[in-house]
Amino acid sequence: MATRAVPKAAAPVRSNPDPARQARDAVATLKRLSSRKVLDGYARYGIPSDRAMGIPVGTIQGVAKKLGRNHGLALALWKTGWYEARLLAVFVAEPERVTPALMNGWCRDFDNWGITDTACFKLFDQSPHAMTKVAQWSKLRGEFQKRAAFALLASAAAHAKTLPDAAFVRCFPLIEAGATDDRNFVMKGVSWALRAVGHRNPPLHARAVVLARTLAESESRPARWVGKDTLRDLLRPLVVRRMKDRQAT
């Protein structure tokens, strides 16, 4: 007699993890890793401590590595408002799911150079919308919103290997205009951007040096600072020699 086949039990239906709950768990993990000594040290670097825990960035990256990429979690972490949770959000966000609306929303929330630079250097520069945001954000009024434009330009110059020189040449007027802003974090961001573009290749190096010399002779004090700071870097013998070697090849 043939035996009747016993149907296999259906696999249990797994519910999608709740990003808000995951964020609460992640924040709890971060709090366990916090250090009063690190928190007290934030003041030396201009990082607000009212919504911070005190955790080294390397430790946050370690947590991110264990969590893996999770865009829903990133969005939920950002909403918590905690400085370290927002850093963690940058590291777990999925670059291909970064939209112009997300970039604008996070940019509006930037309130210190640490989160501004990390978001631009570790996430936003991977977006096809990066150069559009450089142009848009360079016209914003907020200190860290405007810094974001130049931090993003510097990050793209360092990482976006396939962008043509023309994309960066179009940003030179933005750099020249931004150089007259006397706010500390904007000035430093503009200098970072011009130096990064100048390091990209010999033609852009030459253009950056020309602009830096123009700025160094400007009547604007912040522009003079940006020009001189840039020239100190781009005219270093090591940098000049590297550009000559690359030109030769």
Per-residue pLDDT tens over the stretch 59-91: 999 999 999 999 999 999 999 999 999 999 999
pTM of the model: 0.91
Judgement on whether residues 142 and 246 belong to the same structural domain of the protein: yes
What is the total count of domains within the chain? Answer: 2
CATH classification of the domain holding 125: 1.25.40
Co-location of 60 and 114 in the same domain: no
Q: What is the mean pLDDT of residues 135-139?
A: 98
**Residue-range definition of the domain harbouring residue 138:** 110-249
On whether the CB atoms of residues 98 and 130 are closer than 8 A, the answer is no
- Supply the pLDDT for residue 144: 98
Please report how many Cα atoms fall inside a 13 Å half-sphere around the Cα of residue 27, on the Cβ side: 20
Q: What pLDDT score was predicted for residue 100?
A: 98
Q: Are residues 31 and 125 in the same domain?
A: no
Asked whether residue 2 is domain-assigned, the answer is: no
Same domain, 156 and 196: yes
Same-domain pairing of 143 and 245: yes
**What does DSSP assign to residue 32?**
H
Residue 8 maps to a domain: no
- 63 and 155 fall within a common domain: no
Structure confidence at residue 249 as a pLDDT band (50, 70, 90)? confident
The whole-number average pLDDT for the span 35-54 is 95
Instruction: Kindly state whether residues 91 and 135 are assigned to the same domain.
Output: no
Task: Decide if 65 is inside a domain.
Answer: yes
Largest CA distance in the chain: 101
DSSP 46: T
Whether residues 74 and 131 share a domain: the answer is: no
- Residue 8: the pLDDT is 53
Structural domain includes residue 13: no
